[in-house]
Amino acid sequence: MRAYYLTGNGLDGIECRTAAEPEPGPGDAIIRVGAASLNYRDLILARGPTSDRIPLSDGAGEVVALGGEVGQGIAVGDRVMACFSPVWTDGPISLKAFEGALGGRIDGMLAEYVSVSAAGLVRIPQGWTLEEAATLPCAAVTAWNALNEGAKLSPGQTVVLLGTGGVSMFGLQLAKLMRLNTVITSKSDDKLERMQALGADVTINYSTTPDWELDVLEATQGEGADLVLEVGGADTLPRSMAATRIGGEIAVIGSVSGEGSVNPRRLIARSQTLRGVWIGSRRMFEDLVRAIDGHPLRPVIDAVYSFDHVIDAYRHLESQTHVGKVVVRF
């Protein structure tokens, strides 16, 4: 089979090699992967020292073989997605879950066949293509976790999304499903026009309005938002806290602009919750699929690249010109 490998030499060092097809171990399923998608994390890992590792956490395909000891629920022929960390099925996050993430310390989904713990597979929503399904495991589950597992929001409350990348686009779409008010930022007016078409209630260009937190306060009658899906880090974390109401929550998800810092006095005075969010368990993924199954919601896919053009897909994500997800079709 063909598989891509990180070599520790940046994006241009990513190599397509011929490898032996995996054999299923006890409890494992072999998936013939039909599509995969990229996340910001994949850029970071490809630029780092990791070598001889198959990248990407996100993929979707068909189960073609099962090892022994696979419980009921998954069968040959099923169309499935693998959880970001297939060993995290339910309950709180653990070190084991963190270490079991695909495309990190273990091989990921950018191969024609992969062996994954069958307990970490989730069925694809009815009527979804493999390309669509491949967008869900990281970005969508993270947005779902941020919106549902911390602050308990009611329709009409306000959530802020930062930028128009994978996590924020699912954040916007899921927030609309939950009938929340949405504020979204972007560096691009063109992208913000598309956000209006997708139902965003308030759009702010953070390049031309660097004090965007003031606009969030204005849009919420001076109170502040109930929840921010914070993906920016250094450039945005203090502003996200200023944009959040007293007693509100900031789901700390990412740091595309660097790591950032927190003023403890401000946090205390405003009684806010900073909640670190790391993807989600299989149970959260299944909750997400239940919520979107049969619903017209579909992922925003910016571009689909063929398996032969994986490096172009990485370069496209790196350009940060995309909206939503970048997908690879096998």
Subset of residues 235 to 294 that bind ligand NAP, contact rule: CB under 6 A: 235-236, 253-257, 277-279
Where in 46-105 is the site for ligand NAP (CB under 6 A)?
Answer: none
Residue nearest to ligand NAP (CB): 165
Q: In whole angstroms, how close is the CB of 44 to ligand NAP at the nearest point?
A: 7
Chain centre to alpha carbon of residue 80? 17
End-to-end CA distance of the chain: give it in Å, rounded: 12
Residues in contact with 156: Cβ distance below 8 Å, sequence separation at least 6, in sequence order: 179, 180, 181
CB of 259 to ligand NAP, least distance (A): 10
What would the x/- binding string for ligand NAP be over residues 155 to 194, using CB under 6 A?
Answer: -------xxxxxx-----------------xxxx--x---
What is d(CA 206, CA 40) in angstroms, rounded to the nearest whole number?
Answer: 20
User: Whose Cβ is closer to ligand NAP: residue 182's or residue 186's?
Assistant: 186
If the CB atoms of residues 81 and 317 are measured against ligand NAP, the closer one turns out to be 317
Q: Does 39 bind ligand NAP (CB under 6 A)?
A: yes
What is the rounded CA–CA span in Å between residue 219 and residue 178? 19
Outline where DSSP puts E strands in the chain. 2-7, 15-18, 28-38, 51-53, 58-66, 79-82, 113-117, 121-123, 158-162, 181-186, 202-205, 225-230, 244-252, 273-276, 301-306, 325-329
The binder of ligand NAP chosen from 102, 136, 139, 175 (CB under 6 A): 139
- Cα distance between residue 148 and residue 274, in whole Å: 15
The answer to whether 67 touches 29, Cβ cutoff 8 Å, is yes
Per-residue contact flags (x/-) with ligand NAP for residues 201 to 230, judged by CB under 6 A: -----x------------------------
Q: Is 113 in the site for ligand NAP (CB under 6 A)?
A: no
The answer to the question of residue 138 lying near ligand NAP (CB under 6 A) is yes
Which residues of the chain form contacts with ligand NAP (CB under 6 A)?
A: 39-41, 138-139, 142, 162-167, 185-188, 191, 206, 231-232, 235-236, 253-257, 277-279, 317, 320
